[in-house]
Amino acid sequence: MITCSAPGKVYLFGEHAVVYGESAICCAVELRTTVHVNKAEEVIIESVLGSTGLDFEIHPYVSHAIEKMRQFTDIEGVAIKVESELPVGSGLGSSAAVTIATIQALNYLYKCGLSLEDIAKTGHEIEKMVQGNASPTDTYVSTMGGVVMIPQRKKLQHLKCPIIIGNTNKFSSTKELVGSVAKLRSEFPSIIDPILANIGQMSILAEKYVNESDYRTIGRLMNVNHGLLDSIGVGSTELSALVYAARHSGAISAKITGAGGGGCMVALAEDDNAISIAKAIEEAGGEAIITKNTEEGVRLE
Ligand code: MEV
């Protein structure tokens, strides 16, 4: 049996804008999806969603990963078990993590010899097939770990401050939110395009501050990024409540992370106030997770 795991991620900057080729900065977090694979008589996929065969409705990412890997090797039967610390549909990259961990586990089991670049590329093709218009961000950062600038594929300085995630526990459909931004953009291109370009510029400016570990300045820019995300219609009452609760309890920064709508917000904290920020998020109705940046992307367990 082979076991691989891959991390989820938060966006420091650039969600939505990255779909239009703008720059984003993403940070892998120490919340992982673990995939166990073993040769078997038939295809069996087990997860919290149930036990199925090759099933593109219930297990689209794992099923597509098996199909894709059939281009490199002869896979007849395989038993796959998925366990995850990442809530599904919350903007933390759970679909990228399961896709990347599955590809790498099959890569080891069948000795396909795929490189990390090949794995990230195959994972992105699968996300595009399932979601429509997906950027390479989630699959790239889940494969490589660390802090990554996209589309430059540049690794930046590791983030050392505590990261707090606040989950609204409201399902958010990336496809629908990306669609709603596309609609707004097609109606008001002269307004929306500069906002997206501005978000991209923020990532380019922030690169220096990330490399200098200047969390105060990163935080001020993240707060501006939150306002711009709100302006393109991906905020919500629940997300705002968690963002302002985190800021009022001393967070360095707090913003939406991922597609928005529901899903999660992210806050950066000092070493000594992570617990009080997490409490404030819970009191405002969210579920808080204290985590940190991980330098490790997909790995063999
Ligand atoms: C979703 O986690 C982030 C978006 O930018 C979509 C994408 O990058 O594919 C909204």
pLDDT of residue 242: 98
Regarding the beta carbon of 257 and ligand 1, being less than 6 Å apart is answered no
> Two tokens at 287?
């579920």
In this predicted model, what pLDDT tens digit does every residue of 179-211 receive, in sequence order? Answer: 999 999 999 999 999 999 999 999 999 999 999
Q: Does the annotation flag 94 for ligand binding?
A: yes
pLDDT of residue 134: 77
- Which residue is listed with tokens 């610390």? 85
Burial label for 170, CB within 10 Å (0-12, 13-18, 19+), is middle
CATH code, residues 2-156: 3.30.230.10
Angle at 183 between CA 255 and CA 93, to 5 degrees: 40
- Which residue is listed with tokens 């938060």? 10
Which member of 138, 193, 230, 272 is catalytic? Answer: 138
CATH 3.30.230.10 residue window(s) in the chain: 2-156
Q: Does the annotation flag 120 for ligand binding?
A: no
Cα separation, 245 vs 262, in Å, equals: 16
pLDDT of residue 96: 95
Domain 163-291 in CATH 3.30.70.890? The answer is: yes
Consecutive 10-residue averages of pLDDT for the chain (301 residues) = 97 96 97 96 95 95 96 92 90 94 96 95 93 85 97 95 96 88 97 98 98 97 98 97 98 96 96 96 97 97 95
From the CA of 177, how far away is ligand 1's center (Å)? Answer: 9
pLDDT of residue 286: 97
Regarding the beta carbon of 15 and ligand 1, being less than 6 Å apart is answered yes
138 in active site: yes
The torsion region of residue 21 among left (phi > 0), alpha (psi -120 to 50) and beta comes to left
CATH 3.30.70.890 residue window(s) in the chain: 163-291
Q: What's the half-sphere exposure (Cβ side, CA atoms, 13 Å) at 9?
A: 37
From 11, 12, 16, 196, mutation site for ligand 1 pocket: most ligand atoms within 8 A of C-beta: 16
Complex ipTM, two decimals?
Answer: 0.95
Burial label for 156, CB within 10 Å (0-12, 13-18, 19+), is buried
pLDDT of residue 89: 77
3-state SS record for the chain = CEEEEEEEEEEEECCCHHHHCCCEEEEEEEEEEEEEEEEECCEEEEECCEEECCCCCCCHHHHHHHHHHCCCCCCCEEEEEEEECCCCCCCCCHHHHHHHHHHHHHHHHCCCCCCHHHHHHHHHHHHHHHHCCCCCHHHHHHHHCCEEEECCCEEECCCCCCEEEEECCCCCCHHHHHHHHHHHHHHCHHHHHHHHHHHHHHHHHHHHHHHCCCHHHHHHHHHHHHHHHHHCCCCCHHHHHHHHHHHHCCCCEEEEECCCCCCEEEEECCCCCHHHHHHHHHHCCCEEEEECECCCCCEEC
Cα separation, 99 vs 143, in Å, equals: 10
From the CA of 182, how far away is ligand 1's center (Å)? Answer: 12
> Two tokens at 257?
């992370």
